[in-house]
A and B are shown apart, each in its own frame.
Chain A
Amino acid sequence: MGIGILKKLFSRNSSRDTAKKRLQLVLVHDRADISPALLEELRGELIDVISKYMEIDSNNIEMELDREDGSVALVANIPVLSIKRSKKQDRRSKAKKQSK
């Protein structure tokens, strides 16, 4: 038993832990039925859409599918550099022009 505790203390990354982590990660993708390529595509489109409204740091975006309590969530961390005010105004002015 003493050896077991020592082992647990000193081998922080047993192959069991690695296996479980890899498995959890791959199952999140399997269950969400979304391939890494598709996730990458979604990321690209999201950047495009959000960039219309705010200036974002597209190099530091973190995006992943997360599993919590049996449900899957799309978690995105998108650093905002500045908010654009022009977009809405652009739209309004365009609408006004069209209505004239």
Chain B
Amino acid sequence: MEPKVIVVTSGKGGVGKTTTSANISVSLAKSGYKVVAVDADIGLRNLDLVMGLENRVVYNFIDVIEGNCRLNQALVRDKRVDSLFLLPAAQTRTKDAVNPEQMVDLCKNLKKEFDFVIMDSPAGIEGGFQNAAAGADEGLVVTTPEISAVRDADRIIGMLESLEIRPNRLVINRVRPHMVRGGDMLEVEDVLDVLAVKLIGVVPEDSSVISSTNSGEPLTFGNSSPATQAFENIAHRLTGAEVPFLDLEKMNDNRFVSGLKKIFRFSK
């Protein structure tokens, strides 16, 4: 498989870009791919925290671009799984410290060493996003089933297309099955109806996402919570595998885990 740079983006903030980036990076690495998660949110560094690697950051990718260190010095190796690395953002700089051409070069260099470059984009449509998307081959657009997030996702999809990044695929995060059943939340089909984009994953609302962030252990390291399987499925689909979508509707939120276990049994 050709090495790929995948930009994880959303337009709106707080919909789960960083959580998605961390979880799919871990999952891909666990499947044996060489993966680097790049925090492209310069000045608002967070991916290191979510991945639990904040104490091991020495250099960042601005240092690489400015020639203060070699690429290998800036890469933080995740000791929990082979072949997973983090390239941190600079915390005390702004997005103006880099330009799209430099990002294209960086991505080219990363592709020489990695199978997957997962680029965690900042929210918004300005410079930070433009930088994160500059060297990308594919897009992963994260949204929640709320109209404000979906509207922003539509804008981002338009921008990715004008940058000729495709395919772009959609992650619908934080779906609450009981609200969908009650007719109080947009359904997956509704979101797909209005957005001209292919679905790559549906992630249920899951409180263990918060506790996993608290401890710096992405779920895909081995948690058995509802969101874990959803993130793992996304990672598998990124590798080209055909994985059926979880049927969130048939599950009660409190019986969700047992429902998932049934699915596991069937699939094994």
Q: Hey, which bits of chain A sit against chain B, CB under 8 A?
A: 4, 7-8, 11, 14-17, 19-20, 22-24, 26-27, 30-31, 70
Contacts and interface: CB of A to CB of B under 8 A. Distances in A.
A31 B187 contact: no
Given A20-B193, A70-B196, A7 B183 contact: yes
A5 to B, nearest CB: 12
Nearest to A8: B183
B194 A24 contact: yes
Contact of A23 (B147, B155, B181, B187): B147
A42 B196 CA distance: 28
Interface of B: 146-147, 150-151, 154-155, 158, 180-187, 190, 193-194, 196
Given A20-B190, A20-B193, A27-B194, A7 B182 contact: yes
Please classify the interface of chain B as helix (H, G, I), strand (E, B), loop, or mixed, using the class held by over half of its residues. helix
A24 B154 CA distance: 11
Given A16-B185, A27-B194, 11 more contacts: A8-B183, A16-B184, A16-B186, A20-B193, A20-B194, A23-B147, A23-B150, A26-B151, A27-B154, A31-B158, A70-B196
Given A20-B190, A27-B154, A15 B147 contact: no
B147 A11 contact: no
A80 B167 CA distance: 48
Nearest to A16: B183
B189 to A, nearest CB: 10
Contacts of A26: 147, 151
A27 B151 CA distance: 7
A7 B186 CA distance: 16
Please list the 8 inter-chain residue pairs (A to B) with the smallest Cβ-Cβ separation, ordered nearest first.
Answer: A14-B183, A23-B147, A16-B183, A20-B190, A15-B184, A19-B147, A19-B186, A27-B154
